[in-house]
Amino acid sequence: MNPSRHRRLGVTAIAGLVLLTGCGAQVREDPAAAPSTVVERCAEPVPYPRPARTVTYEAGSTDKLLVLGLADAIRGYVMPPANPPVTESPYADQYARLELLSTDLLNRELVVDAGADMVVAGWRSGFSDERGITPELLDGLGIQSFMHTETCFNYPGFPEQVPPLEALYSDLDRLGRIYGVPDRARDVIASYRARVAAVEQAVPADRARPGVFVYDSGTDRPRSAGSQVPPTDLLRIAGAENIFGDTPSRWNEVTWEAVVDRQPQAIVIVDYGDRSAEEKIQFLRSLPQLQGVPAIRDDRFFVLDYNEAISGPRNIDGAEKLGAWVRSLPPTS
DSSP-derived letter for residue 173 is: H
Q: What is the pLDDT of residue 35?
A: 81
Residue 204 exposed, middle or buried by CB count within 10 Å (0-12, 13-18, 19+): exposed
Q: Domain 7-194 - what CATH class? A: alpha beta
Q: What is the pLDDT of residue 245?
A: 95
Q: What is the pLDDT of residue 22?
A: 36
Phi-psi region of 304 (alpha: psi -120 to 50; beta: other; left: phi over 0): beta
Q: In terms of CATH, what superfamily is 204-328?
A: Nitrogenase molybdenum iron protein domain (3.40.50.1980)
Same fold, 7-194 and 204-328: yes
- Average pLDDT per block of 10 residues along the chain, 333 residues long: 37 35 36 76 97 97 98 97 91 97 95 98 93 95 97 93 96 98 98 98 94 97 96 98 94 97 98 94 98 97 97 98 96 73
Q: What is the pLDDT of residue 162?
A: 94
Q: What is the pLDDT of residue 81?
A: 84
Is the Cβ–Cβ distance between 121 and 127 less than 8 Å? yes
Q: What is the pLDDT of residue 29?
A: 42
Global pTM value: 0.88
CA distance 261 to 35: 56
CA distance 167 to 182: 16
Q: What is the pLDDT of residue 333?
A: 59
Contacts of 3 (CB under 8 A, 6+ apart): 44, 157, 158
- Count the residues in the chain: 333
Domain ranges of the chain: 7-194, 204-328
Is the Cβ–Cβ distance between 216 and 222 less than 8 Å? yes
- Residue 236: CA count within 13 A, CB half-sphere: 15
Burial code (b: 16+ CB inside 10 Å, e: under 16) for 91-110 equals beebbeebeebbeeebbbeb
